[in-house]
Amino acid sequence: MKAKDLGEKVEECLEILFKLEKDRERVKMTELAEKLRFPYSSMTVLLQKLSNMGLIDYEPYKGVKLTDKGKELAIKVIRRHRLSERFLTDILGFDWSEAHEHACKLEHVITNKIEEKLDEKLGKPTVCPHGNPIPTANGKIIFENDIPLSELQPAEEATITRILDENSNLLRRLVAMGILPGVKVTVKEKSPLGGALVLKIGDYEVALGHDVASKICVKTDVPPHRRRHRRRRGSRRIQ
């Protein structure tokens, strides 16, 4: 089955799933329905359809996960969306804030051929007008190589990339204390007993529990291969 045969909703669903999955293992059906603005009652039908096509792995009560095939297709849709945005702003002269809405429509009618020509015409752009990366033609997307803050060792410096916020209350608390993406932090002290740590942010210090620290993703300036030997055994990288 080719991408162009798929309904608009299917593509949109994959796109949203892809974005949501960045922050968690499985996506809940209610959340997906809300983001899609699709009636909850019809969700099962839609998900069943996607599941039959082999695009998602759907387990009732647990949630949805994209399969490799689904991921590939989602990346394709994102590529077309972001290319469309560039086209709208660079060539048609749309305003940034308007571009997104129109691109949402455009992305679904673009064929492989149009996509190719568009890419060429625009000079093979790497980022959309809002600064998000455009996946390459063969489906590569540049991920940020971030690791949980809880993996850092004392004296390591890093920049926060994102906060995995299943609980928006935690996000609020962290943001209020100046812990948010883009902020540079240094691990001042770390307890070997269970991983609570003291973080230095500018002129002040904040103590974080291990569970909180594992929900904050950071990027270190040290390349990953050089960091590895400094990390403890059993550490895990998140995508």
Residues of this chain that bind other proteins (CB under 8 A): 96-97, 100-101, 130-132, 162-163, 165, 167-182, 188-189, 191-196, 198, 201-212
d(CA 174, CA 80): 35
| Closer of 76 and 81 to other proteins (Cβ) | 81
What amino acid is encoded at 144 in this protein?
Answer: E
Which two structure tokens, joined as six digits, stand for 97? 């804030």
Q: SS3 of 123, please?
A: coil
Is residue 37 within 8 Å of 1, Cβ to Cβ? no
Is residue 3 within 8 Å of 55, Cβ to Cβ? no
In the complex, least distance from residue 103 CB atom to other proteins, rounded to whole angstroms? 9
In the complex, least distance from residue 175 CB atom to other proteins, rounded to whole angstroms? 5
| Closer of 29 and 179 to other proteins (Cβ) | 179
In the complex, least distance from residue 152 CB atom to other proteins, rounded to whole angstroms? 16
| Closer of 88 and 208 to other proteins (Cβ) | 208
Instruction: Tally DSSP H helices, then E strands, for the chain.
Output: 9, 8
DSSP string of 135-189, one letter each residue: PPTTS-------EEGGG--TT-EEEEEEE--SSHHHHHHHHHTT--TT-EEEEEE
| Closer of 122 and 180 to other proteins (Cβ) | 180
| Closer of 60 and 194 to other proteins (Cβ) | 194
| Closer of 9 and 49 to other proteins (Cβ) | 9
d(CA 28, CA 63): 5
C-alpha count within 13 angstroms, C-beta hemisphere, residue 238: 21
